[in-house]
Structure 1
C-alpha cells in the first residue's frame, strides 16, 4: 500500500465513513488517516456527525407530541 495523500483521503472520506469503498481504496485511506493528524481529525468529526445522525434517525418523538403536530398540520391544511 502507498499513502494516498490528503487530497484523495478528503475527497473519499464520506464514502470511507459509510464503508462504500473497495478494500484497496479503504485500506489506503485507513493507512493515510493513521499517519496524518489533519485528515484523521476530519475523519473523527465526520464519524461523530454520522453517528449522531444515525442515533437521531432511530429516535421517535413522544406520541402526544406527534399527535399535536399532526393536528396542527391538519388544521393548517384545512384552512387552505
Structure 2
C-alpha cells in the first residue's frame, strides 16, 4: 500500500464513503485519512452528510401529502 495523497483521496471520497472502490483503493484512501487531518476532516463531513441523507431517504411522506401530490400530477398531465 502507498499513501494516495490528498488529490486522490478528495477525488474519490464519495466512492470511498459508499464503499464503491476496489479493496486496494479503499485501503490506500483509509491509510491517507489516518495520517492527514485535512482529508480526515473532509471525510468526517462527508460521512455526516451521507448518514443524514440515508436517514432522510427512509422517511416516507404522510398519506395525505402523497395523495395530494399524485392528484396534482394527474391534473397536470391531463392538461
Same fold (TM over 0.5): yes
For the residue of structure 2 that corresponds to 1:73, the secondary structure is helix
Task: Map 1:36-75 onto structure 2 (within 5 A).
Answer: 36-75=36-75
For the residue of structure 2 that corresponds to 1:72, the secondary structure is helix
Aligned length: 79
Partner of 1:27: 27
Structure 1: gaps spanning 5 or more residues: none
Partner of 2:8: 8
Structure 2: gaps spanning 5 or more residues: none
After superposition, the CA RMSD in angstroms is 1.4
Q: CA deviation digits over 1:10-54, x for unaligned, max 9?
A: 111111111111111111110110111110111111111111111
Question: Aligned-pair distance for 1:77?
Answer: 3.4
| TM-score (normalised: structure 2) | 0.86
